[in-house]
Structure 1
Amino acid sequence: MHIDYHTHHARCGHAIGQLEEYVKRGIEIGLDHLGLSDHMPLIHIKPEEYYPEMAMSMDELPRYVEECLLLKERYKGQIEIRMGLEGDYIEGYEMEIEKIIQDYPWDYVIGSVHFLGKWDITDYRQTHGWEDREPIAVYRRYYDAVQKAAETGLYDIMGHLDVIKRFGFKPGPEHADEVIHLENTALAAVRKSGSVMELNASGLSKDCKEMFPSRRMVEEAIALGIPLTLGSDAHQPGKLGEYLDQARALLQELGVRHLAAFEGRERVMVAL
């Protein structure tokens, strides 16, 4: 079973390619399941007062859903399309997130932490946010948010769990044990929530040169019994499925034989 459950498209502003281009590319590369999972609109910052091209507008959300459902029907029998959302976790906005999730017939929702307050730690334009901050303090705040996101129970999949490492900012070696503790505490929260963890291959193309999460965290997740799924986090059709062969190889090496797939927010395990 070849699946890719993490993709982004022109509507979000920082990706290129229309939804149908992704569908056609998915058929071309032999995907069985293609997850369309664009970013949730910004809910805690006025778009006009923030960096441009961060996410689709709230007005675009129903149009996104309509197009996903249309493509699901149009390509039935050629590829299984799953309609998803990357529902950014924003502490203090849980009710607003829940309403967006409940208002539409998603197949799955990815819970990801991008924002610490108004700082998007995954945006290359905002790496100056690390200036005058102790990396370990940022890691503590980030993993606290990941834990709280899992504890909401809102999400089917927890996305790129250690994306905080994306730009290579890390605490010093004197904090190595604490970082492992923070990561393991977040994983324990994912396990308790009953959600799935994504192995996001896109980290191989980032400054960290490592998948999200790390091999160590994947091994810990497996030991905890957390189900896994795959995503390329493609931001253009040509990147669909990128590095997923390496992700699959890692999981096979670690003894994983099944992946989590979704429909109507119901999880099924399929053969890797």
Structure 2
Amino acid sequence: MHIDYHTHHARCGHAVGELEDYVRRGIALGLDQLGLSDHMPLVHVDPAAYYPEMAMPLEELPRYVEECLALKEKYRGQIDIRVGLEGDYIEGWEAPIREMIEAYPWDYVIGSVHFLGEWDVTDYRQTAQWEGRDRLEVYTRYYDAVAKAARSGLYDYIGHIDVIKRFGYVPDADVWPLERAALDVVREAGMAIELNASGLRTPAEEMFPSRRMLEYAHRIGIPVTLGSDAHQPERLGQYLPEARALLKEIGFAELATFARRNCHRIAF
């Protein structure tokens, strides 16, 4: 079973390629399932006044879904397309996020924390905001948001759960208690996480999440899915062989897949 559940395309503003380019690339790679999962439109900031090219414009969302569904039918029998969304969790904005999610027939919705307030901690243009901050306090806020995302009931799995490490800003203190507590909440919520292989091409030089988080997830029974977080068609599936090998080494025998907001575990 070869899957890639985390992809982006030109509508989000910071990726390239059309949806169909990713589908054709997925077929060429021999993927069994391809998840299309572009960024949810921003709800808590004015896109015109914020950093450009952050997420899909709201008016494009229905067109995105329509195109995903059309491609699902067009390529039926060649590749199994799953229609998804990467949904930001933003504390205090749960109602409009829920309204957006419930308006469309998703196969899955990724719960990702990018924002702490109006600071996108995953945006390379905003790394200056780390200066002068207590890194442990930032990590504490981040993992608190992850826990709230898991408890919200809005999402099917948590994306790149430790992406806060992306640019190499790490506290002097051990953050394992924060990571473990977040995983405990994910388990209590009956959710999955993803192994996001894109971390290998970031300053962190490590997948999201770390091996120790994956080992703990395996120990407490959290299902794991796979994603390359491709923002270019040629990066579809990048580092997923390494990700699969790591999961097998840890002891995982199944991957989490999603259809109509239901999780299915499939041997790989």
TM range (shorter): over 0.9
CA shift, 1:152, in A, is 0.5
2-structure distance, mates of 1:112, 1:124: 17
Tell me what 1:3 maps to.
3
Structure 2 residues without counterparts, runs of 5 or longer: none
Runs of 4+ more than 6 Å apart:
none
| Paired residue secondary structure (1:97) | helix
Tell me what 1:236 maps to.
232
| Paired residue secondary structure (2:48) | helix
Picking from 192, 207, 210, the partner of 2:188 is 192
Q: Deviations over 1:199-257 (max 9, x none)?
A: 00000000000000000000011111001100000000000000000000001111111
Q: Deviations over 1:179-214 (max 9, x none)?
A: 110000100010011111100000000000000000
2-structure distance, mates of 1:157, 1:72: 22
Q: How many residues align?
A: 268
CA shift, 1:267, in A, is 1.4
CA shift, 1:95, in A, is 0.8
Alignment of 1:188-227 (within 5 A): 188-227=184-223
| One-letter amino acid of the counterpart of residue 149, structure 2 | A
| One-letter amino acid of the counterpart of residue 237, structure 2 | G
Structure 1 residues without counterparts, runs of 5 or longer: none
Alignment of 1:254-269 (within 5 A): 254-269=250-265
| Paired residue secondary structure (1:64) | helix
1-structure distance, mates of 2:219, 2:252: 11
Q: Deviations over 1:87-137 (max 9, x none)?
A: 000000011111111100000000000000000000000000101101111
Tell me what 1:70 maps to.
70
1-structure distance, mates of 2:264, 2:182: 24
Tell me what 2:86 maps to.
86
Tell me what 2:150 maps to.
150
| One-letter amino acid of the counterpart of residue 74, structure 2 | R
TM-score, structure 2 normalization: 0.99
2-structure distance, mates of 1:48, 1:255: 47
1-structure distance, mates of 2:2, 2:167: 29
Structure 1 stretch 39-48 or stretch 257-266: which is displaced more?
A: 257-266
2-structure distance, mates of 1:37, 1:107: 10
Alignment of 1:159-198 (within 5 A): 159-172=159-172, 175-176=173-174, 179-198=175-194
Q: Does 1:123 align with 2:108?
A: no
2-structure distance, mates of 1:193, 1:135: 27
2-structure distance, mates of 1:102, 1:108: 11
RMSD after superposition: 0.5
TM-score, structure 1 normalization: 0.98
CA shift, 1:154, in A, is 1.1
